[in-house]
Amino acid sequence: MIKKWYLILSIILVCLLIAAMYFIKNTSYFPLRASKDRVKIGILHSLTGDLAISEKPVADAALLAIKEINAAGGILQRQIEPIVVDGKSDAQIFAQQAEYLITQEKVAAIFGCWTSPSRIMVKNVVEKYKSLLFYPVQFEGLEDSPHIVYSSTTPNQQLIPGVTWCMQNLGKKFFMVGSDRLVHEIIKDVVNAHDGTIVGEYYLALGDTNINPIIEQIINSKPDVILNNIEGETNIAFFNELRKRGITPEKIPTMSFSISEPELKLFQTDSMTGDYATWSYFESIDNSENKQFIKKIEAAYGIEEESSDAMEAAYYGVYLWKQAVEKAQSINTSLVIPALHNQAFDAPQGLIHIAENSLQTWQFARVGKIRSDKQFTILWSSEKAIKPLPYPPTRTVEEWDKIRVELG
């Protein structure tokens, strides 16, 4: 009889062990720290280094959304506690800080990153611990993680519309310069598909200010348009040198994919006036939602604070997370992720929503011309939000993944 009960007890213990292992595998490795009155989330951006000029305003926008939500009663009757950490413009530090936020601070989600290298490093961390990252910056695509909400644009929502607009309005011969080789590959496909020509390209590593070789190649290749994907303060040296060498928007215009209103203001230079940029959001959008958003930013951070595409995405990203948490009635990542699909928000750019079959976001596309007051005149806008396609249709997913590995 004793042996029989011992056998039954052993079977029960084995079943409990299997159930526990399944639970660990399918939820976060670390229990979320949420008291009765607070929920922790991480804000992970560069507050120092070359990228701080771009990232600090994005962190501010996320903090503004948190402040508003807390003032309205919080989330699930708890206040949100932001844990702000500095990525220091270094992808390795981003990964370290993400691990700290998840394992030490036990945050329910992370909001942050700017460059693709920083996102990729953090992607490895959030996937390892089955956590959640909200990424608010336009990117090259070729990625679709179930643990990242891509709250800004995929290539078909920014790069492809911007290059296509250039070919229809400015010319078909292009010189590419930037900090992301994958972006160049995508642009090449777009240009070739429209019978355009790439007359030159130059890869410039983050922080590299050796501009003269680029300018020489631009002068020699005689492009109709320069396609610029340089990140950070290096843009100052690039545009100043263009003007010194007589390259103006009237002679050879530049279309940028990483310059927005805060950068224009902080660069303190008029050398970019007359050139172009492609985004989903511009501060000059004329609708009531955007006017309210601008007023909130100015009230929180002063009338000198400019709004940008990434700031808007960071702001509504927090609200999308809040809505998903309330739908799931839990901050547990395994429950929040399914609840994120189809979440919508009446954003300053227009009505956006997360896709049904991924965590990519439907976005608008707009082309703007830089004005002397550091704002943009909107020249073209998509009629409605565009479905996200992280993998451009010019190649198969397998082909893009191969290129990503080769260039990574």
**Over the stretch 174-202, which tens digit does the pLDDT of each residue have?**
999 998 889 999 999 999 999 999 999 99
* pLDDT surpassing 80 at residue 29: no
**Over the stretch 156-172, which tens digit does the pLDDT of each residue have?**
999 999 999 999 999 99
* pLDDT surpassing 60 at residue 27: no
Q: CA triplet 275, 280, 284: central angle to 5 degrees?
A: 65
Segments of 171-308 assigned E as strands: 173-178, 197-203, 225-229, 254-256, 276-279
**Over the stretch 38-73, which tens digit does the pLDDT of each residue have?**
999 999 999 999 889 889 999 999 999 999 999 999
Query: What is the DSSP-derived secondary structure letter of residue 280?
Result: S
Homologous superfamily of domain range 38-154+288-363: Response regulator (3.40.50.2300)
Name the H helices within 72-134: 91-103, 116-128
The pLDDT of residue 9 is 45
Return the exposure string of 262-280: e unless at least 16 CB atoms fall within 10 Å of the residue's CB, then b. Answer: bbbbbbeeebbbebbbbbb
- 284: which residues sit within 8 A by CB, 6+ positions away? 368, 375, 376, 377, 378
Mean pLDDT of the residues in the chain = 91
The pLDDT of residue 18 is 42
Work out the percent of the chain whose per-residue pLDDT is above 70.
91
Residue 151's φ and ψ, nearest 5 degrees, are -85, 0
Asked if residues 349 and 363 have their Cβ atoms less than 8 Å apart, the reply is yes
**Over the stretch 195-236, which tens digit does the pLDDT of each residue have?**
999 999 999 887 788 899 999 999 999 999 999 999 888 899
Query: What is the DSSP-derived secondary structure letter of residue 305?
Result: P
User: CATH 3.40.50.2300 occupies which residues in the chain?
Assistant: 38-154+288-363, 156-286+368-407
Q: For the CA atoms of 262, 50, 269, 112, what is the dihedral angle to 10 degrees?
A: -10
| DSSP run (H or E) holding 2 | helix 2-26
Q: How confident is the model at residue 35 (pLDDT cuts 50, 70, 90)?
A: low
* pLDDT surpassing 60 at residue 30: no
The pLDDT of residue 407 is 84
The pLDDT of residue 204 is 87
More reliable by pLDDT, 388 or 209: 388
**Over the stretch 115-149, which tens digit does the pLDDT of each residue have?**
999 999 999 999 999 999 999 999 999 999 999 99
* pLDDT surpassing 70 at residue 28: no
CA-based nearest residue to 355, from 387, 320, 312: 387
Report the distance separating Cα 169 and Cα 350, nearest Å. 25
- 4: which residues sit within 8 A by CB, 6+ positions away? none
More reliable by pLDDT, 34 or 208: 208
Considering the four listed CATH numbers 1.20.1440.230, 3.40.50.2300, 3.40.190.10, 3.40.605.10, the one that applies to the domain covering 156-286+368-407 is 3.40.50.2300
Q: How confident is the model at residue 6 (pLDDT cuts 50, 70, 90)?
A: very low
- 169: which residues sit within 8 A by CB, 6+ positions away? none
Q: What is the arithmetic mean of pLDDT over 369-392?
A: 96
3-state SS of 314-382?
Answer: HHHHHHHHHHHHHHHCCCCHHHHHHHHCCCEEEECCEEEEECCCCCEEEECCEEEEECCCCCEEEEEEC
DSSP result, 235-259: HHHHHHHHHHTT--TTTS-EEESS-
Q: Is the dihedral of CA 152, 155, 156, 157 positive or negative?
A: positive
CA-based nearest residue to 62, from 323, 346, 314, 347: 314
* pLDDT surpassing 80 at residue 34: no
State the first-to-last Cα distance of the chain, in angstroms, to the nearest integer. Answer: 64
- 185: which residues sit within 8 A by CB, 6+ positions away? 403, 407
| DSSP run (H or E) holding 401 | helix 397-407
Query: What is the DSSP-derived secondary structure letter of residue 78?
Result: B
| DSSP run (H or E) holding 192 | helix 181-193
Q: How many CB atoms lie within 10 A of CB 39?
A: 20
The pLDDT of residue 36 is 67
* pLDDT surpassing 80 at residue 19: no
Report the distance separating Cα 187 and Cα 174, nearest Å. 10
Asked if residues 123 and 117 have their Cβ atoms less than 8 Å apart, the reply is no
Helix/strand/coil for 130: coil
**Over the stretch 300-331, which tens digit does the pLDDT of each residue have?**
998 788 899 999 999 999 999 999 999 999 99
The pLDDT of residue 25 is 39
More reliable by pLDDT, 96 or 266: 96
